[in-house]
A and B are shown apart, each in its own frame.
Chain A
Amino acid sequence: MKSDLIDIQVESRGNDVEISLSGSLGAVQLSQVKEKLNMLVEGPGCFFFLNLQNAHFTSDRYLDVFLELLNRVKAQKSALILIFDSSELYDYFSRYLNIFEVYENRNAYKKSGTKKQLQQIGLHFGLRSGITVSSGVAVALISLLLGWIITLFVIISSQGHDLSDKQAQIIALQNQKERYIKEIDKLESSIGPLRKLGVVQDTTRLSSFGLIQDWVSYLEYLENARREK
């Protein structure tokens, strides 16, 4: 079957789908090519690259097929990009070069503009998720998001400062405590012989107010002290 002599290659990678047609395409294969292309652009894919570099057209009716395909792809909010760099194909598509996007390869398209591609991805996933936003709302949403992110960042950084201050205070107090302990030890060791001789009474060993937790205990302490005297 002559219509079956067309070579088709499909390569799906994430958002990209590259369909390559090769061989001599005439009126006989037209309906087959149309059917196959329509079949292949159904399903996921944001960028459809139609590689025609190795195709040779012997009928101008394929232009209508590609225009229909473009409409079909656009209805899916996807993009159709033609891939070729031969003068023969430029001549063939000359009437519609302002309609079709033509690049010499996929990388050339990828390098042609990030904004345009992001917009395309937005449109495509908008359709797939059912959520569509105008550009004004999108800008407002992005600003809001950015505002939130900046606020969050400021809060986190100020808390970070506070935490580091507190940390420094704790370290300073710990150092001070250690110093005091050392000084007390030194003092205790210096009065140790005097205490042994009974010259100095160790008041720190006496009952202290520190053990008194309430007024009743305090009054009992005063009464006991009075009676001892």
Chain B
Amino acid sequence: MKPSLSFILQLPPSTAYAKLEAVVENLVSGVVKMLDSEHVRFSLYMDGPTLEVAGQVARTQVNNKLRPAIEKGALEILGGGYYDPMLPLFPTELSSMQIEKHGKLLWKQFGIEPIGYFNSSMVWEMEMTNLLERHRFEYALVQEASLQDALGRTTPVSGWYSIEDKGSFMRVVPVSQKLSDAIANDDFRWEQIAEPYCRGGKTAVVALDVPPQPGDIIPFFERLIDFVETNELTTKTVAEVVAEQNSEGRLSFLLSSGLKIGLPRAAKTCRELLVRRPEVNLLHKMLSSLYHRASATLKGRDRDEFFEMLLPAMSPIYYRDMQDSEGMRTPMVRWWGARFLLQAANRLTELVSFDGIRLDIADFMLQGGKCIWAENHSYSFLLDYMGGGILHILNAKDSENNLLNAWRDDGNPSVGFLDFVLPNTELKAERVDQLLSDREGELSAPYDYQIKRHDAGTDITLLSEQKDTIAGHQYSLLVEKTFGLSSTGSEFSVSYKVKNQRAECSKGFFGTLLDTGLLACGFTGKDIVVDGQPLKFNFRDSLIFPDASCFEITDYTTSSKIELTFKQKASLLIAPIFGASALAAPEALQGVRVFPFWKMSLAADAEEEFGLSVRISKR
């Protein structure tokens, strides 16, 4: 007996949206071909942007072919989030908005209310039971592996199971990953793999990704039709499978960390990404912070309009540890994510008529320690005073970009103004770069903070005693680090008073590190300018520029510019930050490292001052 299969087709949310019209046109044509063949019944998931475009470029086909097929039951349209987000990561209110927005669009385009919930990342947590029930879903598609975990078995799982949480009920339908992969890769053993899933007349659920390139879409559908016809398969929609079959049993708990998000198999939940990848975590925390601030300050239409602006930043592309424009390893993806959030942040500033300086001392990172969020009309930054007085985020509001969004393969966050004391030896650029990468000699002891408001702005003064041993030499420095915020300008100052607390002389180099995510890639030859002269930097080898007074770096892709003006002439290390590419070689440029440093020679109880001002602008 030939196996019975239920196909779920989806366009992955990593599709290059620049070509979305061509992609959608071909997708709808392919779907129509499938329907015309009259041999395939299947389920289809399209996220919000795809549906919107389908309504524009393929209105006739949608009305004349897809709608009647849905009414006949040959085609099932699945519901989900508008931007296909991993719902357990976000506040329930925003998750609800995603589902509602997608549902409204399905009603508008197809005149239906979906009963099946689909998420391409396949994440699941128990709280979703209640959320999906409230949105009148009857079943949800989940990863087979998560069901195997919940049932404590390794054999194939098919059919559907029931699950309940806090009085809410949901049917969960496993998608067979093994069978999906076999069919997608034209594995001739697919029938053998499908057999245990279909035992006892059951139907196996298979999810297939529609290729993202427009030219590959029609051939994909033709191959699929050919596959069904050649093998004389019985196909059903998932809704039919759920309706025809009885429950396979009850589950007390179900948890799925998801698929295709860059997490190892051992991960239990998608929140593991927030722990593993600081870049993802920072974006997530920026979104949470904006959500909470808007919840506390906005009402009615303003509130809804603002939350709507947060929805694109929930797309799974910003919460994946993946490269090649599929996840946050790609600098452009990090920039897109930051841009959505900064557009929302700028709107919030308008809505609450903010014009001044705002300091928020709160647990921004949700890790049990405080940080200082500082903001004026042209920039905002997150200062981690407990982690060495460093910046984790430096947002340029005009150019809508986080300037510290470089990616570090070692899983450490990119930083701004992380201070170092380097040994008093002759150091080559590569050696300095290595010391900085390894965080050797960093001044990371916690600081106490003081806030001093004055007519020109506000100073955040950090005080701490920094002790360590560098290259066999002990040092103990009393460091006063001040961030001076201007209430009107687009610049801030960072100044240091460093006092030697030891009886012996302390010698070395004192410097501060910025891991900028700016993508100045030598487009114009004037991307990096030192003391008014363009710097010949090949973006491969690090270099040290001696006695610099002023440094600027312009990113023509993101229209961001940062200028550093040193109070005392400084030596300047400029080095590329590389990350692993798809070939696993560290050859993908992830940002530019900038490290101004000064010679420090402190007798007992002597004090030295260093400083710089930072100007952020749109190029």
On A, residues with C-beta under 8 Å from B are: 4-14, 17, 39-40, 42-45, 54
Contact = CB atoms under 8 A, between A and B. Distances in A.
Interface of B: 296, 354-363, 369-370, 450-455, 458, 487
B453 A12 contact: yes
B453 A9 contact: no
Contacts of B455: 44
Contact of A12 (B356, B360, B361): B356
- Of B362, B369, B458, most buried by chain A (CB within 10 Å of CB) is B362
Contacts of B370: 4, 7
A7 B371 CA distance: 10
B451 A40 contact: yes
B356 A14 contact: yes
6 contacts: A10-B357, A10-B360, A11-B354, A11-B359, A13-B355, A44-B454
A80 to B, nearest CB: 15
Given A9-B359, A10-B359, A39 B451 contact: yes
A7 B451 CA distance: 14
A40 B459 CA distance: 11
A17 B453 contact: yes
In the complex, the 10 A-B pairs of residues with the closest C-beta atoms, listed nearest first: A43-B453, A13-B356, A7-B362, A10-B359, A8-B361, A11-B358, A9-B360, A12-B356, A12-B357, A44-B455
Contacts of A39: 450-452
A111 B455 CA distance: 26
Nearest to B357: A12
A4 B363 CA distance: 10
A101 B357 CA distance: 25
Given A11-B357, A13-B354, 9 more contacts: A5-B363, A6-B361, A9-B358, A9-B359, A10-B357, A13-B355, A40-B453, A43-B454, A44-B454
Contact of A42 (B358, B359, B369, B452): B452
B450 to A, nearest CB: 6
A17 B359 CA distance: 11
B482 to A, nearest CB: 15
A221 B487 CA distance: 86
Contacts of A8: 359-362
A9 B356 CA distance: 13
Contacts of B454: 43-44
Contacts of B369: 4
Contacts of A43: 452-454
Nearest to B360: A9
A44 B451 CA distance: 13
A7 B361 contact: yes
A42 B453 contact: yes
Nearest to A35: B450
A12 B451 contact: no
- Of A8, A10, A39, most buried by chain B (CB within 10 Å of CB) is A10
A9 B296 CA distance: 13
Contacts of A10: 357-360, 451, 453, 458
Contacts of B361: 6-9
A8 B451 CA distance: 12
Contacts of B451: 10, 39-40
Nearest to B457: A12
Nearest to A42: B453
A47 B72 CA distance: 68
Given A14-B356, A40-B451, A9 B362 contact: yes
A17 B360 CA distance: 13
A38 B361 CA distance: 16
A208 B369 CA distance: 107
Nearest to B353: A13
A202 B369 CA distance: 111
Contacts of B453: 10, 12, 17, 40, 42-45
Nearest to B368: A5
Given A40-B453, A43-B454, A44-B453, A11 B356 contact: yes
B459 to A, nearest CB: 10
A14 to B, nearest CB: 7
Contacts of A11: 354, 356-359
A45 B358 CA distance: 14
B381 to A, nearest CB: 15
A71 B363 CA distance: 31
Contacts of B354: 11, 13
A120 B459 CA distance: 26
B508 to A, nearest CB: 32
A108 B450 CA distance: 31
A109 B458 CA distance: 25
A42 B450 CA distance: 12
A14 B356 CA distance: 7
Nearest to B454: A43
Nearest to B363: A7
A13 B453 CA distance: 12
A44 B454 CA distance: 6
A6 B450 CA distance: 15
A8 B374 CA distance: 12
A6 to B, nearest CB: 8
Contacts of B458: 10, 12
Contacts of B356: 11-14
Contacts of A54: 296
A45 B487 CA distance: 13
Contacts of B487: 12
A145 to B, nearest CB: 27
A11 B487 CA distance: 11
A39 to B, nearest CB: 6
